[in-house]
Amino acid sequence: MEKTLLIIKPDAVQRNLIGEIIRRIEAARFKIANIRHLRMAKSVAEDFYAVHRGKPFYDELCNYMSSGPIVPMIVEGEHAVAGIRELIGKTNPAEAHPGTIRYDMAVSLTKNSVHASDSTENAAREVKFFFPREE
């Protein structure tokens, strides 16, 4: 059973899409193993996205991710990392396939409704970031 992290971003929380996103995750036969609802301080967003520090979009991303509540969750299932990435679609919603979360729900490249880990290594790091007591 593989674990990954998915975050429902501020734009999707504000538009009341939490339930629909969870419904799609569960319909794809993944299990929500843990879930939180919180607001990240900008310094926390900067730590989480440290891998992007120095890139042109870094400040905008950190400001956005700290602009409102988010819903991070641990998602479990067979090939969870790849499966959830397929379910959410490409980072740029204009390049995502119809039926994916980002194609259907994203507002823009930054406000693309969800974040998901892109590798098993990043999934382990990101899960620990939001759920430090998870085994």
Q: Which of 37, 52, 79, 115 is catalytic?
A: 115
Task: Assess whether 115 carries a catalytic annotation.
Answer: yes
Cα–Cα distance for residue pair 18/74, rounded to 1 Å: 14
Contact 45, 65 (CB under 8 A): yes
The alpha helices in the chain, defined as continuous H runs, are 10-14, 18-27, 42-48, 58-65, 80-88, 101-105, 120-130
Which of these, 10, 5, 36, lies nearest to 110 by C-alpha position? 10
Catalytic residues: 115
